[in-house]
């Protein structure tokens, strides 16, 4: 039986302060338990006990980023938990079918380690109509391009907690790869997540890139 089920979780001072600063742009352990049904163990809670970003950074980015406690749920895990068969017919646009193109792709099965992520809520400025290489050049030294798994986790969790859809009318390239190129997610409107892929040299007005603040180790 997991630690949470035994009543072992209490928010740390770090987590409480981060929640105060970030407001609705905070998706912590409690939210992961409530919306994703995770049951963290002691090791996972220990990994999340401290926020790896300073209060100054959180204050600077509190309106433009979401601070998220990411647990090891793959895209397929999230789809299985919260897909059409679970009554959430507005999260994934495939209608719960088993013939989706990415179901056998490795990126859809990848799970992040337990980590805090500070992810931008909008695309990087002027990142549309650019190739992958041109988009990479827009990412600052303190930033990185998130994986598809992290972005689906963040977009889904934030929507369930706040009813706000991120990247509602635009696609974003992620750092995840498949046979067709970089995996792209977004257009998260009433039809649900759109997950597709484009080659690196493809550029168009509806395809940008997002970024996350690097975790300083």
Residues 112-121: tens digit of each pLDDT: 999 999 999 9
Q: Distance between CA atoms of 152 and 154, rounded to whole angstroms?
A: 6
Q: What is the layout of strands, in order, in the sheet containing 65-70? A: 26-27, 65-70, 115-120, 212-213, 143-144
What's the pLDDT band for 6 if we cut at 50, 70, 90? very low
What's the sign of the alpha-carbon dihedral 180, 120, 217, 69? negative
Q: Say yes or no to pLDDT of 131 above 90.
A: yes
List, for residues 188-212, the tens digit of each pLDDT value.
988 888 899 999 999 999 999 999 9
pLDDT at site 19: 97
* Tens-digit pLDDT profile for residues 158-182: 999 999 999 999 999 999 999 889 9
Query: pLDDT averaged over the chain?
Result: 89
> Residue 32 is part of which domain span?
4-213
As for how many domains the chain has, the answer is 1
Pairing of strands 171-178, 207-209: parallel
Q: Average of pLDDT values for 51-58?
A: 96
For residue 80, what pLDDT band results from cuts at 50, 70 and 90? confident
pLDDT band per the 50, 70, 90 thresholds, residue 101: confident
User: Which pLDDT score is estimated for 97?
Assistant: 53
């Amino acid at each position: 039986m997991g630690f949470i089920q035994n009543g072992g979780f209490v928010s740390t001072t770090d987590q409480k302060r981060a929640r105060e600063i970030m407001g609705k742009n905070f998706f912590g352990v409690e939210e992961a338990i409530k919306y994703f049904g995770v049951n963290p163990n002691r090791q996972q809670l220990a990994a999340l006990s401290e926020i790896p970003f300073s209060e100054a950074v959180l204050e600077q980015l509190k309106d433009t980023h979401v601070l998220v406690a990411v647990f090891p749920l793959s895209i397929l895990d999230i789809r299985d938990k919260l897909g059409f068969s679970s009554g959430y017919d507005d999260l994934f646009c495939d209608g719960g079918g088993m013939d989706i193109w990415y179901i056998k792709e490795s990126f859809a099965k990848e799970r992040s380690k337990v980590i805090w992520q500070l992810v931008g809520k909008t695309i990087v400025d002027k990142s549309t109509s650019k190739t992958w290489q041109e988009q990479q050049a827009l990412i600052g030294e303190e930033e990185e391009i998130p994986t598809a798994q992290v972005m689906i986790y963040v977009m889904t969790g934030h929507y369930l907690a706040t009813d706000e859809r991120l990247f509602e009318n635009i696609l974003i390239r992620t750092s995840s790869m498949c046979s067709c190129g970089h995996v792209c997610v977004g257009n998260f409107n009433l039809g649900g997540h759109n997950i597709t892929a484009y080659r690196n040299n493809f550029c168009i007005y509806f395809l940008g890139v997002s970024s996350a603040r690097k975790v300083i180790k």
